[in-house]
Amino acid sequence: MPRTHLSKKAYTIDSEPFYLDTGDEMRLFEAAAAARLPVMLKGPTGCGKTRFVEHMAYRLKRPLITVACHEDLFASDLIGRYLLKKDETVWMDGPLTRAVRMGAICYLDEVVEARKDTTVVIHPLTDNRRTLSIDKKGEVIQAHPDFLMVISYNPGYQSVLKDLKQSTRQRFVALSFGYPVPADEARIVAAEGKVDVDTAARLVTLAGKIRNIREHGLTEGASTRLLIYAADLIRNGIAFKRACMTALCQPLTDDDRLQETLNDLIDDLQ
């Protein structure tokens, strides 16, 4: 127990992460946290899901423990394991167990990537039981009242093989994220990329056009994150067009014809 108390500070966010409210997501998240309801964040890459969780952890004054899920993530990576130290075996809590004990927000990023055995772990924690079974220790922990499970996933990458089961989905309230409206997105790009609002607005206009040509074969449009990258390059002396090609067009696709179309969109904007 003392070990978890010590580490609580390590997961606490001390200064406010900038987050521009784009709807009622903050109010909904606060209500869900108050009601101890697990939250699912859905949306395309780079639209602000992680930033939102960081901001809400700061607002709610709760530690934040993030786990990036991948296909080799076993339940024991979340729960913990016995480790051999000198001549004795000692138990080490995994990130989920730590969050359950200390009353943190546990953020499972890209949860569809995780192995199926993780759902066995998540289920009793995300219904009214709020318990975590540590089979290896024969221990069942009741979650701290402030424990909150948050998962994220990108519905665009959904496939039959990698989808959340209904029994998992229906344990969460879901907040749907998209790209912010142009005026908001320009404010975000200006603030994060440290460029003037006019330059930010031009980048956002270009992003709007790129997002509109999705039917030509782009799997996803240019994200807010990429717009900020373009702004970062511009701020560091790269010309607008070159910055857009490097940060907005090239990362999106390897298809030459699509690249041409994207370049034309930049030229139209000049």
Ligand X SMILES: Nc1ncnc2c1ncn2[C@@H]1O[C@H](COP(=O)(O)OP(=O)(O)OP(=O)(O)O)[C@@H](O)[C@H]1O
The one-letter code for the residue type at 215 is E
192 binds, among ligand X, Mg ion, none (CB under 5 to 8 A by kind): ligand X
With residue 120 as reference, give the H or E element that holds it.
helix 117-125
Closest-by-Cβ residue to Mg ion is: 50
The one-letter code for the residue type at 22 is T
47 binds, among ligand X, Mg ion, none (CB under 5 to 8 A by kind): ligand X
Report DSSP letters for 131-178, one per residue: EEEEGGGTEEEEPPTT-EEEEEE-GGG--SSS---HHHHTTSEEEE--
Question: Looking at beta carbons only, is 118 or 154 nearer to ligand X?
Answer: 154
> What separation, in Å, do the N-terminal and C-terminal C-alpha atoms of the chain show?
61
| 133 burial via Cβ count (<10 Å: 0-12, 13-18, 19+) | middle
Question: Looking at beta carbons only, is 49 or 101 nearer to ligand X?
Answer: 49
Question: Looking at beta carbons only, is 123 or 225 nearer to ligand X?
Answer: 225
Give the whole-angstrom CA distance, residue 30 versus residue 148.
11
Closest-by-Cβ residue to ligand X is: 48
Per rule CB under 5 A, is residue 154 in the interface with Mg ion? no
Kindly list the distances between the CA atom of residue 150 and the CA atoms of 96, 112, 194, in Å, as whole numbers in the listed order: 11, 13, 30
Site string for Mg ion, 27-56 (x = CB under 5 A): -----------------------x------
Question: Looking at beta carbons only, is 50 or 168 nearer to Mg ion?
Answer: 50
Residues forming contacts to ligand X in the complex (CB under 6 A) are 18-20, 22, 43, 45-51, 154, 180, 188, 192, 224-225, 228
Binding residues for Mg ion, rule CB under 5 A, total: 1
Give the whole-angstrom CA distance, residue 121 versus residue 78.
9
| Residue written as token pair 């499972």 | 108
Question: Looking at beta carbons only, is 43 or 80 nearer to ligand X?
Answer: 43
Question: Looking at beta carbons only, is 54 or 93 nearer to ligand X?
Answer: 54
248 binds, among ligand X, Mg ion, none (CB under 5 to 8 A by kind): none
Q: How far is the CB of 136 from ligand X (least distance, A)?
A: 31
Residues binding Mg ion (CB under 5 A): 50
